[in-house]
Structure 1
Amino acid sequence: MFTLTQPNDKTIAAFLAQQSRQDLNYPDTFASLGNLPASYDHNVAEVHLGNGEAIFAAALTAFRHWRQFDVGWVEALPRETPIEIGQNIAIRARVFRLWTLAACRIVDVMDEYDSDTRRFAFSIGTLPAHPEQGEERFEINQSSCGRVTYRVTAFFRPNSTAATVAWPYLRYRFNLFRRQSAGVIRREVIRAAA
């Protein structure tokens, strides 16, 4: 969906209601948990956030408010969407003078904690109104030495003829988002620690 005006809350709610009745638009569900399928493009962005439980907690708070999407030209809406399997989220983006909506579904959530390490991660899969097919996995990891990292892993390919034609530019933008997302989470953690 492309428009010259910014999609409002009512438009987003109707869009999500329609997309929530749809199946994922790709067959490789859960592949972001392990070996990425060869028939897709792949991208990984990772950043060291700092050390310690306070850093992990700040990153987790940012996740729960979908801050990793706050890169200046992308938003995940509605913000109050809980990170739970089966929840749908709209991605509102602005590229040049056009606005677009895409839809994703949370397909996996992992919250692991033991005496030495902690990991919170979730994967979103694309729905039919998304320009790409595939998954993105967002992870916060705390190692046994306290090191906290943020990582985004994605496998993706075009979802339509139009997306295929524009793929070099779209791939650039999707990969730019992942790098910018890592920077956003890092800034959120620094701000919380200040």
Structure 2
Amino acid sequence: MSSAPFTYEPVGATRDDLAVRPPGFHSLHVRTRIGEGEAVFRRAAEAVLGWEMHRALGLGIDAGAERAAPDVEVTVTLAGLIKAPCRVVWTTEEPRRAGWAYGTLAGHPECGEEAFVVDRTGDGTVWLTVAAFSRGQKWYARAGGPANRAFQHAYARRCGAVLRRLCAEHEEP
């Protein structure tokens, strides 16, 4: 575990409220239907908790563990150029809900928290929710303004599409 401080407050806020938006931050909340059934849920949960969804997006993932767990440090690399150091803040593995969130560390272009949660509703539908609150930390993230937020929304939608593809073979007829 690193002693590097997070670059934002309130750390862990997405655990209880995926729609949280602290003052001065922009929020993100994208929910995507992944499929139906227990097998899809289990597959989706494993793909999210084990970094597979992120790797399938084409991101570089350098993680201190094979699965997301509190205090695991992760550096996400985009296009081989942008490095985004983070630390997992919380995880959950319940019968109908699984996921985690990480918070930004020094050197990340943004400051804030992002959560990836898979849940299975009462009718058996499996959903991925990508939720975040953030604001630009580095000059280029601040300068990007609305274009940067559009990129974040596109990224969240792509997470859902990639996870749906990874789980397609597990869909119940």
TM superposition score normalised by structure 1 = 0.78
Specify the SS of the correspondent of 2:81: strand
For structure 1, the residue ranges without an aligned partner over 5 or more in a row are: 1-16
Q: Deviations for 1:113-146, whole angstroms, at most 9, x for unmatched residues?
A: 3xxxx10121110111100011111101012221
- Whether contact under 8 Å (1:68, 1:181) holds in the other structure is yes
Conserved 8 A contact 1:85-1:107: yes
Matched, 1:60 2:45: yes
Q: Identity of counterpart residues, as a percentage?
A: 25
Distance 1:102 1:122, change over 3 A: same
Matched residue SS, 1:166: helix
Aligned equivalent of 1:159: 137
Distance 2:57 2:26 in 1: 24
Tell me how far apart the structure 2 counterparts of residues 134 and 164 of structure 1 sit (CA, whole Å). Answer: 13
Larger Rg: 1
Match for residue 128 of structure 2?
150
User: Which residue in the other structure is 1:23 paired with?
Assistant: 5
Question: What corresponds to 2:148 in structure 1?
Answer: 170
* Equivalent residues of 1:121, 1:139 under 8 A apart: yes
Q: For the residues of structure 2 that align with 1:72 and 1:87, how far apart are their CA atoms? A: 20
**RMSD of Structure 2 on Structure 1 (CA):** 2.2
| Distance in 1, Cα, partners of 2:119 & 2:128 | 7
CA distance in 1 between partners of 2:160 and 2:55 (Å):
10
Code of the aligned partner of 1:145? D
Conservation of the 8 A alpha-carbon contact between 1:91 and 1:101 = yes
2:116 to 107, 117, 138: 138
| Residues 66-103 of structure 1, C-alpha deviations (whole Å, 9 max, x = no match) | 12224655232248532110001010101xxx612111
Which residues in structure 2 correspond to 1:37-116 (within 5 Å)?
37-70=22-55, 72-78=57-63, 80-94=65-79, 99-113=81-95
Between Structure 1 and Structure 2, how many residues are aligned?
169
Match of residue 8 from structure 1: none
